[in-house]
Chain A
Amino acid sequence: MEQSFINELKTIVGEQYTLTDRESLAVYGYDSTPELESRPGVVLLPGSPPEVARIMALCHGAGISVTPRGSGTNLSGGSLSGGGVVVQTSRMNRIVEVDEENLTATVEPGVITSALHREVEGRGLFYPPDPGSMNISTMGGNVAENSGGLRGLKYGVTADYVMGLTTVLADGELLRTGGKAVKDVAGYSLNPLLVSSEGTLGFFTAITVKLIPKPRAKITMLAHFPELNQAALAVSAIIAAKVIPATLEFLDKVTIKCVEDYSHVGLPLDVDAVLLIEVDGHPAVVAEEAASVEEICKRHRCSFFQTAKDADEALKLATARRTALSALARLKPTTILEDATVPRSCIAPMLQVIQETARKYNLTIGTFGHAGDGNLHPTCLTDERDKDEIARAHAAFDEIFDAAIAMGGTITGEHGVGLAKKRYLPRLVGESGIKVMRGIKNAFDPKGILNPGKVF
């Protein structure tokens, strides 16, 4: 990258926030995705949305690519840039407004998800999306990946809460979509298109989300299952009984052991699976739902059923679940986590496929996930130095994805396509799907400078 161009960038964000040294570029060459790395040409940390607009305009003029980056926790290589400009949003971390009358919050893109939770919950309000990474991930990253969370089953995903966006387009111009009006059918729905665009259509600089009243009561439960299959069937049975828990999370034996090693919350080490279940809402309804969840679990031969005695214990259990992915990395250095998602009635067969495939390729695969919405995370524990094992892991995931697609599922429920799953996308959406997506990309970014090479 030319020095004169870098100097111009410096005039926008300041010397201190323009990183060009080898060391910095090396550590901005990765995100949480295993195996992928690619060095940026320069890293910028702008302090305000207008700076982002100026950066975009300058890069557009020079034909240089821009990759937005939040905290780099995505699992699809989405924030890696090959030689271009990486723009990290962490300094733009103001909660601009909480509008209690309209039940909305407006934030800058670098706001950490859990910081928004704290702010609104202090006012009796609720922002439900809570990815496992909520203490690290940014709102910009959540919107770009359409992140789901532990409460996705009942409350939906990020897309269900985004009401308005201010987006800097590839050429530096501003696009405002949606707003605080609950109903809005003017023209094409651009909000949902921008949500899950993985940084390829525009750079979000302000995000307005919908808030709801904070549920008045919550009960957290943990059920132990000696048989994996029974746990899977219990999930379907709970939903079939028309109970929609806020959280219905699944952990298999391998995952349980790792999580317990780290968190010491008292998870059982002698069972095949546990379900972490949370029901929330009106106190009377919550009590009723908890009773029926317990009854269903017992019917499915759960060996032990525990109800968290207080908020503290509930938080401990949920927090332990959030560490599942990282805790799995205790066993082996490289964890390849996938995001295969099936209609929820297919959870039991999907788990079976995962187990069989692991056996067939002689791999250790731990599985956990948002069982309630069919979003499973089979996680292969490998060592990147063992090339043969890595190759087997990829072959196994090939089969797992094919099975998911065949069941009417998808290749990613929440992590996005990025670089990691590019090659699977055509299998899912077909040629026509790719053609339409390319057309959209062209309309937004004719020069192709926004996070190039991602998605397709």
Chain B
Amino acid sequence: MDYVKLINCMRCGMCLPACPTYKETFLETASPRGRVALIRKLQEGELDQSERLLEYLSLCLDCQACASACPCGVNAGELVAEFTCERKGGEGLSFMEELILRRLLPHPDRLEAALAPMRLYQRTGLQKLVRKLGVMKLFPEPLERMEGLLPNLPARPLRQTIAEVTPARGEERGTVAFFLGCVMSLVFSEASRATVRLLSELGYRVVTPRNQVCCGAPNMLSGDLAGLKEAVRTNVAVFGGIEADFIVTDCGGCGAELKHYGHHLEGDPEAAAFSAKVRDISQVLALHREELRAKLKPLPVTVTYHDPCHIAHCQGIRREPRDLLRLIPGVEYRELEAADACCGSAGTYNIAKPEMADRILTRKIATIRATGAELLVTGNPGCLLQLRKGLAEQLPGVGIVHVTELLARSLDGAA
């Protein structure tokens, strides 16, 4: 790791109030400043790679709120992720990691097939029974938590059912390539359907290649650099063949990762060109505010918006989603306090570090309660899963949807 990146931290502490884990613990070891110092002292030989040190670092959500707060340009979250990634170096992936990263994610068909029993399980009513009997309590906790997070899965993943080419409605203004994202396609296919529909309504021809693969973020998190590069190459090749104005995604996590492709394959002009075309859906929709406004029908509802870390901190997109919500006639928009504070989802963090994730989630739900809004809107599948669970447990009655779902409802004029 680049030593200069570490000594650039001048320890001013400006990042402390932004860090969710510091806010919960008040521990320097759980702050961005402390994390940078731990890695630095490790490199300087003052500390060694103790279990405890790794444990401290693993409490970081990689939400990058610290990066937004740091005037010196230090990104503690990224440094921790980079450190973890370098340390693991793709060596010694666990059996589960190997299975998921190498055998499932690069092959959407297999991934989807793997989840089929889950759907069956949900649809036969087995899930209800299991939940009622508390059978999950018999399994190791992570599995139980995973089970609790999953909403009802759609009958079939979007990747299998969406047309490769969705024509533009009315006059065609251009082409966008749609990047599906595993979780969006598997779990939130309705939101992604709405995304495609909105693009088409605005005159875009939408191309959704079937042979795209996972964005690679899970590989990155596990230090599986080889797997990451493989994913990047595949996607760059797949999308390179499409003459698209933009490559659009409605998954904040994928968007952040895709925008890094140029960096992952340094010196590869095609990867750089790919990244340059990537847009979050809210960015594209915001280009066409007035046309959208003309199409939207009233929805009398009070809404608030949660900034996903991967959209606000990693991509710097904050205004567009809010502007879009305000476009909808009848919507009363209420700003959420600390809207860009992490919800605790953070990839698989909520499974790996359930206690901290719950504390962060509870704080988030409290801010949502304070707005009095009836509906929470956000733009990333991880947040949708985590917040859906949090709302169900702590604030039932408040619904949650993806930005594009709400816009699509407004197109239909039905809440």
- A positions within 8 Å CB-CB of B: 19, 21-24, 26-28, 30-32, 34, 45, 71-73, 88, 90-91, 112, 133, 135-136, 258-259, 262-263, 323, 325-327, 329-330, 333-335, 384-385
Contact = CB atoms under 8 A, between A and B. Distances in A.
A133 B13 contact: yes
Contacts of B330: none
A259 B10 CA distance: 15
Nearest to B14: A326
Contact of A329 (B10, B13, B47): B10
Contact of B7 (A28, A327, A384): A384
B218 to A, nearest CB: 28
A23 B10 contact: no
A21 B52 contact: yes
A214 to B, nearest CB: 21
Interface in B230-278: none
A166 to B, nearest CB: 21
B28 A27 contact: yes
B274 to A, nearest CB: 26
B71 A136 contact: no
Interface in B69-88: 70-73
B26 interface: yes
Given A90-B26, A333-B4, A333-B7, A32 B12 contact: yes
B72 A329 contact: yes
B17 A136 contact: yes
A334 B10 contact: yes
B34 interface: yes
B8 interface: yes
B53 interface: yes
A45 B27 CA distance: 9
A32 B11 CA distance: 5
A24 B29 CA distance: 6
B8 A329 contact: yes
A136 B13 contact: yes
B28 A335 contact: no
Contact of A30 (B37, B56, B73): B37
Contacts of A334: 7, 10
B393 interface: no
Looking at A21, A136, A259, which has the most chain B CB atoms within 10 Å of its CB? A136
B46 interface: yes
B159 to A, nearest CB: 39
A23 B47 CA distance: 7
B391 interface: no
27 contacts: A19-B27, A21-B52, A23-B29, A23-B38, A23-B50, A26-B37, A27-B28, A27-B29, A28-B28, A30-B11, A31-B11, A45-B26, A45-B27, A71-B13, A72-B13, A73-B12, A73-B13, A88-B26, A133-B12, A133-B14, A136-B13, A262-B72, A325-B71, A329-B10, A329-B12, A333-B4, A333-B7
Given A30-B37, A32-B11, A325-B12, A23 B72 contact: no
Given A112-B17, A135-B17, A334-B7, A326 B12 contact: yes
A91 B13 contact: no
Interface residues on B, range: 20 to 34
Nearest to A332: B8
Contacts of A385: 7
Q: Which 3 A-B pairs have the closest CB atoms?
A: A326-B71, A90-B26, A323-B71
Contacts of A325: 12, 71
Contacts of B70: 326
A32 to B, nearest CB: 5
Contact of A26 (B26, B47, B73): B47
B7 A32 contact: no
A268 B341 CA distance: 32
Interface string B5-29: 0011011111011000000001111
B50 A327 contact: no
A323 B73 CA distance: 12
Interface string B207-244: 00000000000000000000000000000000000000
A334 B6 CA distance: 11
B295 interface: no
B41 interface: yes
B52 A330 contact: no
A323 B47 CA distance: 31
Contacts of B37: 26-27, 30
Contacts of B33: 27
Contacts of B12: 32, 73, 133, 325-326, 329
A271 to B, nearest CB: 21
Given A323-B71, A326-B71, A329-B8, A27 B14 contact: no
B363 to A, nearest CB: 15
Given A45-B27, A90-B26, A135-B17, 12 more contacts: A24-B29, A26-B38, A27-B37, A32-B11, A73-B12, A133-B12, A326-B10, A326-B12, A326-B14, A329-B10, A330-B71, A330-B72
Contacts of B28: 24, 27-28, 72
A23 B52 contact: yes
Contacts of A19: 27
A136 B14 contact: yes
Interface in B23-65: 26-29, 33-34, 37-38, 41, 46-47, 50, 52-53, 56
